Structure 1
Amino acid sequence: MTLASPIAVIGGIPIFALQALAAVAALLAALTALALIALWRAAAARRSEREAAEERQQAIEERFAALAQSSAELNGRVGAMAEWLGSRQTDLARVVSDRLDSVGARLGAGLESQAQTTGESLGRLNERLAVIDAAQSRLTEMTREVVSLKDILANKQARGAFGQGRMEAIVRDGLPAGGYDFQFTLSNRARPDCVIRLPGDPRPLAVDAKFPLEGFSAYRAARDDEARRSAHARVRADVGKHVKDIAERYLVPGETQDVALMFVPSEAIYSDLVEHFDELVQKAHRARVVIVSPTLMMMAISVAQAILRDARMRDEAHEIQAEVGKLLNDVRLVAERAGKLETHFRQAQEDLAGVGAASARIARRAERIEAMDFADGDRPGAPDLMSLARQAE
């Protein structure tokens, strides 16, 4: 086979070896060119990446330099802040020392006053202890009464008397005699168990000491869900009706306060009421009836006592102010009378000075008369002027 002989026929066209070699050479040249182009592009990409890496390195170095500068500035600020804090700490220590001294002085005065109050309280405590010693013999009887308390609470009337007695004891211990009334009759002929009178307001605060306990007893004695639901419904009905009765009977517009108190004689019952029957408490609040336990009743009485004490202090302050006004009026009258007395003294002094001057003039005139020579004074019937002057003196 020679180079001029065909080596293949494609589509009726003969292909010679020389043409095949030329095509292979052209293909190799094209591949070489493509490889060179690829190498050039790769070199350009590496160069771009290197330039980008250099730029990123430069930016990182610039950021590190900025961070170093910021760190230096921050160190300077921290140092200045440390110096300022040191000076402020010294000032704070001085202020705290001054405050501690003043607090110590006030504390000492307070402790002294507290010691005096404690001494008085101990004196009263000794008196109470004497009363307690005297009542020691009644403990056995009181024990029997406590044992029979369950029977008392089982009776509705006895339970009402017990709750009213406890409420009356709290009120009597906390308020003066004129600050409350028991079984007070309102204009609608309703008689709350107690009314509390607040100073500056003629409207009394009504307090009801009766509380429906049967539902709570059934609720506590319930052993299954059905009995508990029944007892729950009974408590809601009984307490809701009692709240409604209090709101209708003891809230008289213009005559009583806008709210009334419903006294619960047991802390345990009040706790169950708040914990398990919150809707009843909210309903009572909406009806302007506040449910209170013995502790809350004592707190309310303490607030009323503080209000009464403030009112009494204001009244006493007004009396003191009136007395001070009278005292100032007396001082003004004393000043006016002292001025008049000073005027009288000045006039008397002027009169005494005038009397002294007149006496001096009389003495000088008498001396002049005494120095005169009366030669014809021995004649019979002539008056003796010297003797007349001495008689005048």
Structure 2
Amino acid sequence: MSALEMILLGVIAIIAVMVFVSMSRHKASPQSDDGLAELRGQLSQLSNQSAELQRVIASQMSETEGRIGTRLEQSMRDQNERTNKQLNGMAEKLVVISEANAHISALSGQVTQLQNILSNKQARGSFGEVQLENLVRDALPDSAYDFQATLGNGKRVDCLLALPNPPGAICIDSKFPLESYRRLVDAADEPSRDMARRGLEADVKKHINDIADKYIVPGETAESAILFLPSESVYAEINIQLPRLVDESRRKHVYMAGPDNLMLILHTVRAILRDARMHEAAGLIQTQVDTMMQDVRRLDDRVAKLASHFSQAEKDIADIQTSTRKITSRGDKIAEIEVIDAKAVDDMPPEKSSGDLLG
């Protein structure tokens, strides 16, 4: 029951009580009939007002219920939309989480596979060689290196960098002392760490000596070689905790390098090769320029000879023109002589001229 209905029932109850009390009072008086008629009239009026009030209340309740229903329907619709959006967002997040779980599972498998590779000494060596090859291929042209190259002493090196003299070809050999490093990392106390660190130092020192003996060949390679450590952690541990080993490697001319340091070295090698190519190209250009200058000098000699020929030809032409003028002049003189003789014959007497001609 709503609040308006409860109010209406309360009003009706109050009116009924008032009517009952009024009728009880009028029963004891002589003028009860008139009062009763008046009371009935009031009661009828109150009944009509009550009906009208009920109608108004019913209309307001209907309007109120309509508005409440509309609001409730809109609220439910909005709530459904929000719920659907939340469900869609949760579904998308679940898809992302599912993909992330798949990636994590794949990564876990790869980590497990990597652990299996690193646990095998031969596979671990191949891992270092592959990493070395990838770094070299990314930094240098194909003509600048040779993998698994055989030296003159019969030893095979992981990578041989073809550099001009000096410094000459540089050998790079990959070593991965993972077992010694793991013993150092897994050590539980300081004495165990000291023992494991000495073991790591002994293993790396052996690698340094082997590289110095095998891959530094006088007259064939450079005076130094590179020991590639395919783990930055191992490289950092050696440089920070084993300074005597670093000094020993420098005395042996075997320089250790992690992946980052090796990349810097390879970029330096690339710059050296570029400068060497430019120097070689400059030598070729200088040779071609010298040859061209020789051709220019020969051309100058030939032009001088041609100019000399032209000068001689001009002199010959001038001489010819002089001879021509002399010949022309003499011809003119001869022509004048003949004309004069003809006039002299014409002027002579006929008899004399005939006698002279007969004599």
TM bucket normalised to smaller: 0.5 to 0.7
> Cα offset for 1:144?
7.7
Distance 1:369 1:297 in 2: 106
Residue 172 of structure 2 corresponds to which residue in structure 1? 207
1:161 aligns with 2:105: no
Distance 2:322 2:132 in 1: 91
TM-score under structure 1 length normalisation: 0.55
Residue 256 of structure 1 corresponds to which residue in structure 2? 221
> Cα offset for 1:179?
2.8
Distance 1:225 1:257, change over 3 A: same
Q: Which runs of 5+ in 1 are unaligned?
A: 1-138, 379-393
> Cα offset for 1:215?
1.3
Identify which of 193, 197, 212 aligns with 2:162. 197
Residue 138 of structure 2 corresponds to which residue in structure 1? 173
Q: Secondary structure at the match of 1:284?
A: helix
Distance 1:141 1:342 in 2: 91
Superposition map of 1:29-178 within 5 A: 147=111, 148-178=113-143
Distance 1:251 1:272 in 2: 26
Which amino acid is 1:367 matched to?
D
> Cα offset for 1:142?
9.5
Distance 1:374 1:168, change over 3 A: same
Identify which of 265, 272, 287 aligns with 2:230. 265
Distance 1:219 1:241 in 2: 18
Q: Which moved more, 1:296-305 or 1:144-153?
A: 144-153
> Cα offset for 1:364?
2.4
1:374 aligns with 2:302: no
1:276 aligns with 2:241: yes
Which amino acid is 1:157 matched to?
Q
Q: Which runs of 5+ in 2 are unaligned?
A: 1-102, 347-359
Distance 2:243 2:201 in 1: 10
> Cα offset for 1:377?
6.8
Distance 1:145 1:161, change over 3 A: farther
Residue 314 of structure 2 corresponds to which residue in structure 1? 349
Distance 1:140 1:322, change over 3 A: farther
**Contact between 2:157 and 2:171, CA under 8 Å: does it hold in 1?**
yes
Which has the greater radius of gyration? 2
Residue 235 of structure 1 corresponds to which residue in structure 2? 200
Percent identity (aligned): 40
Distance 1:365 1:176, change over 3 A: same
1:362 aligns with 2:327: yes
Q: Secondary structure at the match of 1:199?
A: coil
Distance 1:216 1:190 in 2: 27
Deviation readout 1:255-298 (Å, 9 max, x if unpaired): 43332211011222211221122222222223332111122212
| Count of residue pairs brought into register by the alignment | 240
Deviation readout 1:139-185 (Å, 9 max, x if unpaired): 99996885433332232222211211121222233333333222222
Residue 40 of structure 2 corresponds to which residue in structure 1? none
Which amino acid is 1:373 matched to?
I
1:225 aligns with 2:196: no
Residue 340 of structure 1 corresponds to which residue in structure 2? 305
Distance 1:339 1:262, change over 3 A: same
Which amino acid is 2:340 matched to?
D
**Contact between 2:229 and 2:256, CA under 8 Å: does it hold in 1?**
yes
Higher RCO (C-alpha under 8 Å, 6+ residues apart): 2
Q: Secondary structure at the match of 1:207?
A: strand
Distance 1:253 1:361 in 2: 88
Distance 1:258 1:354 in 2: 79
Residue 286 of structure 1 corresponds to which residue in structure 2? 251
Which amino acid is 1:199 matched to?
P
**Contact between 2:167 and 2:223, CA under 8 Å: does it hold in 1?**
no
